[in-house]
Amino acid sequence: MSTFEKKQSALGLQTQLVHEPGVDPEGFNALPHAVHRGSTTFFKNTAEQRKPVDVLGTDYSYGLHGNPTQYTLAKQLAKIEEASHCLLLPSGLTAIAIIGLALLKTGDHWLLPDNAYGPALSLAKQWKTQFNIDFDVYDALSTADLEKKCKPNTRLLWTETPGSITFEVPDLAALCTVARERNIPVCVDNTWSSGLHFKPFSHGADLSIQALTKYQSGHADVIMGSVCSNNTKLFARVEQQNRLLGFGVSPDDCALILRSLHTLNLRHREQARVALEIATWIATQPEVARLLHPAFPSCPGHANWLKDFSGSASLFAFTLSESLSDADAVRFVDALEVFHIGYSWGGPESLALAFEMPANRTLHVGRGPLIRLAIGLEDPQDLSADLENAFKALRAC
């Protein structure tokens, strides 16, 4: 269409250009969701502007608090995780922090697994010094250890499934039972499964966070996080804390993730399939001491994975023989050419990292140097050949 009706107006041209309402979208129907940008949003009248805001409702009072693009993404993510509520945040780490700030205060205590995401433990240490919020680290595979470390002032139980770097899979239902008996809320980092293959709320969790930077983005170009919940009372505290701190997300970034959700299941499934093939081969290499992939019996908590998960992901690790050193793990990773060295996962590129095992972990995996792999969307034969060359480089030294 390029023909428009001419209308006389008492307003000047500049005013008309500012106030032009745009073309009516009636009749336009396409798959992509519209991108709604805007800081100031308009009210019909002063009564509407002064109306109390429901923090759990759709709020178009100001661009920071929400827009149709953002709410559409939140609705889709809630559907995946079988949740009633979803909040979008600038990163996965922001999601972790906002829950802690909403649920913990000076004098409180919280519990984290020793295989938690490193920055979560860093937050706990910082808050203990800065705010006198105490914490303890528990063995994610031991409900007895969890019970022993619960205190009368414990206000939050944190867990991951599987755990960061070493991939232990806890019995979430058992951990939640311990917490529920003591009226302790439970939050799960569910990033590994993307919510596709594990439903934390059916196992008793109150809150679930994800780094949408991973599979939901899928293209290594967006950083975002989410908090989902079916516990309205707890979620309202998290939402209110977010409003006080003023965290927001870009509608353009939301649109990018909405676009990627169209292929989320297909990408996740294909990357997981290739990861299983590569992990099976890696387990046969003589330098490998232990394969740390939840779908394999060698991974601690494998029985819990069988019981609770309906699939796997493309992120896993393996440990080398204890006779080898961190320098050997670095030599292996540096010899890779198709794999990139970098953080994150879930994008189209395969990644590798060498980790020195943290000394404070209650390890179920041995003390050999550890290599983490994230399988992308390259040709599987190229990935296998790259890994084989890296093992040859390791043997040559």
For position 123, what pLDDT does the model report?
Answer: 97
Q: Are residues 235 and 101 in the same domain?
A: yes
**Beta strands 225-229 and 85-89: pairing type?**
antiparallel
Residues 261-282: b if buried by 16+ CB within 10 A, e if exposed: beebeebbbebbebbbebbeeb
Are 386 and 286 members of one domain?
yes
Is 3 a domain residue?
A: no
Q: What is the pLDDT of residues 151-175, one digit of tens each?
A: 999 999 999 999 999 999 999 999 9
- Residues 190 and 300 grouped into a single domain: no
Report pTM.
0.93
**Position 17 in a domain:** no
Residue 232 has pLDDT above 90, yes or no: yes
Domain-embedded: residue 18: no
Q: CATH number, domain at 120?
A: 3.40.640.10
Amino acid 362: pLDDT? 62
Same domain, 187 and 222: yes
Local confidence band at 359 (pLDDT 50, 70, 90 cut-offs): low
Tokens read off for 11: 């307003």
Residue 13 pLDDT exceeds 90: no
251 plus 271 within the same structural domain: no
Angstrom distances, CA of residue 77 to CA of 95, 261, 387: 14, 9, 35
In a domain, 221, yes or no: yes
Helix (H, G, I), strand (E, B) or coil at 373: strand
Question: Cβ–Cβ contacts within 10 Å for residue 321, how many?
Answer: 14
User: Residue 387 CB: number of other CB atoms within 10 A?
Assistant: 23
Give me the percent of the chain exceeding a pLDDT of 90. 81
Mean pLDDT of 255-270: 97
Judge if 248 and 102 occupy the same domain: yes
pLDDT tens digit sequence for 49-92: 999 888 888 888 888 888 999 999 999 999 999 999 999 999 99
Distance from C-alpha of 147 to C-alpha of 270, rounded to nearest angstrom? 39
Residues 255 and 276 in one domain: no
pLDDT digits (tens, 9 = 90+) for 311-352: 999 999 999 999 999 999 999 999 999 999 999 999 999 999
Across the chain, mean pLDDT equals 94
20 and 4 in contact (C-beta within 8 Å)? no
Beta bridge partners of 301: none
231 and 356 share one domain: no
Distance from C-alpha of 141 to C-alpha of 172, rounded to nearest angstrom: 9
pLDDT at 124 over 90: yes
Q: 39 or 151: whose pLDDT is higher?
A: 151
Give the start-end residues of each E strand in the chain.
85-89, 109-113, 134-138, 154-160, 186-189, 207-211, 225-229, 288-292, 315-320, 340-341, 351-355, 370-374
Same domain for 224 and 285, yes or no, is no
Q: Averaged over 21-48, what is the pLDDT?
A: 85
- Per-residue pLDDT for 294 more than 70? yes
Residues 80 and 157 in one domain: yes
Confidence of residue 45 (pLDDT cuts 50, 70, 90): very high
Question: Domain for residue 40, yes or no?
Answer: no
Which residues form the domain of 150? Answer: 46-261
In a domain, 241, yes or no: yes
**Which residues, including other chains, have CB under 8 Å from residue 329's CB and lie 6 or more apart?**
320, 354, 355, 369, 370, 371
Q: 189: helix, coil or strand? A: strand
Q: Which residue has the tokens 């041995």?
A: 366
Residues 128 and 84 placed together within one structural domain of the fold? yes
Higher pLDDT, 223 or 367: 223
Residue 13 included in any domain: no
Does residue 1 carry a pLDDT above 60? no
Closest CA to 203 of 169, 164, 237: 169
From 79, 119, 75, select the one nearest 95 (Cα to Cα). Answer: 119
Residues 195 and 124 occupy one common structural domain:
yes
Instruction: Give the per-residue pLDDT at 361.
Output: 66
Omega cis (within 30) before 119: no
The predicted model gives 278-302 an average pLDDT of 97
Instruction: Give the pairing of strands 154-160 and 134-138.
Output: unpaired
**Residue 251 confidence (pLDDT):** 96
